[in-house]
Structure 1
Amino acid sequence: MPRLATRTNDFLTFQVMELFKQAQALQAAGKDIISLGIGEPDFTAPPQVVEALERAARAGQSGYSPSAGLTPLREAIAQFYHEQFGAKVDPSRVIVTAGASGALTLACAALVNGGGEVLMPDPSYPANSNFVLAAGGVPRLIPSTAEKRFQLSAQDVARHWTPATQGVLIASPSNPTGTSIAHDELAELLAQVRARDGFAIVDEIYLGLSYEGQPRSALTLDDDVIVINSFSKYFHMTGWRLGWMIVPQDMVAPVEKIAASLAICAPTLAQHAALACFSANAMKTFEHRREAFKQRRDYLLPEFERLGIQVPVKPDGAFYIYADISNLGMDSAAFSQRLLLEAGVAAVPGLDFGPAHGRHTMRFSYATGLDRLEEAVARMGRLLK
């Protein structure tokens, strides 16, 4: 067997996908499993998008696109950011990617030096550490608290920045917590990073799924941040593998050069289809679905309280609840397995998102129908009773 690179030992196992495989095996064996695990909307692309895909396929529009993406799509994304999130963006700064994962891969390849540290909060989406590792960097998880909404703060940046630190990677709203960074606090954090000549990668893939007030992009605070977004969550196109990044003008050419080698381009048919996402009718559909997610959140929060499952911070976005199970008498790994095997409910142990709170937290996804959530709550109630 070839000798593997040492970094393979450092890569984190994505427990969400391991749980997903276990749940699928149980379903294949005939067991009814309600998934509160994987972060995938139960909604799919609306008819306008599917029809646009079919038209593009019949027209033979399946060749390579420019490495930065189709110009009309880049223009539509820039307009979307202006109308929805208050950020004026030159379309030339938009780079269409193979999902948000492709965007994060490109961002880390362009910014992270070998041995360079990248600060991120604990808890965080586990794959973020792996993107940094793949670029030769060192992810540093900084334990956060409920008082900080489980987010990185300006004080954290000032306290933990070292000569080896190059930047920060944050998400607002966050996976796994569903919490956002308040706009004034985000401004302070970005100012601390800028003062140290560092970079800030801001994951905004759940920004469209914000439930409290009008969401604003980090680009309204600092034009030099690197913003990551995707068609997977708000637009419900997970398997289409289409995302984008918005970068400072000086980064466009270097990132485009890297993209041309690593991926050539994002899936072209998906790009043509995604143009239909920005039609008036499609946007009405997405907004209606956003309200459905909010309804699910508002159903689950009091039900969890009734079951004795504590939620330290009310999520204001995404479709996750980060819950504290300290008073249930078992750690998160054991509770996750009991939920799956005894109640037929899949939910992710907090250890997947960092060690600081991992043993006594769980992440529950409400990206499934309200009727199934009601049944999941009933099953959990019987188990806990």
Structure 2
Amino acid sequence: MSSHLTQLASRLDNIAPFHVMELAKMAAELERQGRHIIHMGIGEPDFTAAPSVLAAAAQAMADGRMQYTSATGLPELRAAIAAHYRDMYGVDVAPSRIIITAGASGALLLACAALVEKGAEVLMSDPSYPCNRHFVAAFDGSAKMIASGPEHRFQLSADMVQQNWGEQTRGVLLASPSNPTGTSIDEDELRKIVEVVRGKQGFTIVDEIYHGLRYDAAPFSALSLGDDVIVINSFSKYFNMTGWRLGWLVVPETLVPPIEKLAQNLFICASSLAQHAGLACFAPAAMTVYEARKAEFKRRRDYIVPALEELGFKVPVMPDGAFYVYADCSALSDDADELTIAMLNEAGVVMVPGLDFGPSTAHRYVRISYATSMENLQEAIARLRIFLSGRTQ
């Protein structure tokens, strides 16, 4: 029987493999061989949903509330998120502007489907989360990666946006706090960026998926900068619900009908079970749990940063959010990819090289996730101390 290989779409040429997942596969193979591996690679909280959220999911299943919802989501959940913005950030957002999505990835997919067309250019910082540029590529646009170093907290500035805006530029895609750096954009700088983009009649998308995990500043959302700012968020990180695939998108009222049309066709709706569970996230009992876990993440950050620096890593910018450290490893190796593979094979510790996040930091930076227990972090530092001492002898 002859096989026929269907010709693939050319857009796939613009989507690179995800090295984070490749390292995860290597680590899984070592675990199958009986090795104990400490995972500081994938950005997934070691906590799960709060007990009251799990109970709400079980009750929804028992009650048979598993049918399709509206493509925009449960009205009660949209209202609860609007109330959360009012209570947490002091921002009034109409529930009608909130669209419930299949995770932040679903939100970004819908936003790019609505705003990116063939040949369109979207400005992003280098380094940044790789999937964001691939969402743009999926709709035949291109991400223009702008190198941003420690002096800019690895984020875009208004001047960078102004200088790099070209004829094909249609908007910017920001992340604050950022993956991989854990750094946020200063409030005044973000305001200036929005003003520059607004002046050019472009769009501003701000990924705030880690926004609940900011440690050193008062809560601030880009939604306070105007109704034209598009914000992405999710239940995955702060609410510890990664596998539930539940997120949301806040858009101007004029964008709701076209995005609803896209959601109807692409997704029908987000998981109804996850939506009913998500409602319980905003109850006081659950918020108490999540705030305690946030404090634990901060405790881990305050341990891991100086511990890494003692080993010879350089942390040029203290991460103020998320659960990542972006560390310069050039004093230890001139090849971050080689170093992370050696750390995995010899020390049993998973870190991620800068390859995924953009060319400007690809070979001298590694991303460390501290979304694991303090005991694991301490054991990882002990192993790395032995591993690195062996490399210098």
Category of TM-score, reference length = shorter chain: over 0.9
State the one-letter code of the partner of 1:232.
S
State the one-letter code of the partner of 1:333.
D
Give the Å deviation of 1:24: 1.3
1:316 to 301, 316, 320: 320
- Aligned pairs for 1:25-36 (under 5 A) are 25-36=29-40
Following TM superposition, where does structure 1 have runs of at least 4 consecutive aligned residues deviating by more than 6 angstroms? none
Identify the residue that residue 178 of structure 2 maps to in structure 1.
Answer: 174
Q: 1:115 aligned to 2:115?
A: no
State the one-letter code of the partner of 1:250.
T
Distance 1:293 1:281 in 2: 19
The secondary structure found in structure 2 opposite 1:321 is strand
State the one-letter code of the partner of 2:162.
A
Q: 1:76 aligned to 2:80?
A: yes
1:212-269 CA distances to partner (integer Å, 9 max, x unpaired)? Answer: 1212000111221110000000000000000000000100111000000000000001
Q: 1:339 aligned to 2:347?
A: no
2:27 to 23, 26, 33: 23
Distance 1:213 1:197 in 2: 30
Distance 2:219 2:355 in 1: 29
Identify the residue that residue 63 of structure 2 maps to in structure 1.
Answer: 59
Give the Å deviation of 1:83: 1.2
Give the Å deviation of 1:13: 1.2
Identify the residue that residue 146 of structure 1 maps to in structure 2.
Answer: 150
1:10-49 CA distances to partner (integer Å, 9 max, x unpaired)? Answer: 1021111111111112112211000000000000001111
1:256 to 260, 275, 295: 260
Give the Å deviation of 1:9: 1.1
Identify the residue that residue 375 of structure 2 maps to in structure 1.
Answer: 371
Identify the residue that residue 297 of structure 1 maps to in structure 2.
Answer: 301
- TM-score (normalizing by structure 1): 0.99
1:380 to 375, 380, 384: 384
Distance 1:192 1:253 in 2: 27
Q: 1:215 aligned to 2:233?
A: no
2:52 to 48, 51, 57: 48
1:273-306 CA distances to partner (integer Å, 9 max, x unpaired)? Answer: 1111011010000000000000000001111111
Gaps of 5+ in 1: none
Q: 1:238 aligned to 2:258?
A: no
Gaps of 5+ in 2: none
Query: What's the C-alpha RMSD, in Å, of the aligned pairs?
Result: 0.7
The secondary structure found in structure 2 opposite 1:100 is helix
Distance 2:205 2:263 in 1: 17
Give aligned pairs, total.
Answer: 385
Distance 2:28 2:65 in 1: 35
Deviates more, 1:123-132 or 1:11-20: 11-20
Report if the CA contact (8 A) 2:333-2:339 is conserved: no
Report if the CA contact (8 A) 1:117-1:137 is conserved: yes
Distance 2:244 2:333 in 1: 41
1:58-85 CA distances to partner (integer Å, 9 max, x unpaired)? Answer: 1111110000000000000111111112
1:295-350 CA distances to partner (integer Å, 9 max, x unpaired)? Answer: 00000111111111000100000000000011113311000101100000000001
Distance 1:329 1:200 in 2: 37
The secondary structure found in structure 2 opposite 1:359 is coil
Distance 1:64 1:199 in 2: 31
Q: 1:129 aligned to 2:104?
A: no
The secondary structure found in structure 2 opposite 1:315 is coil
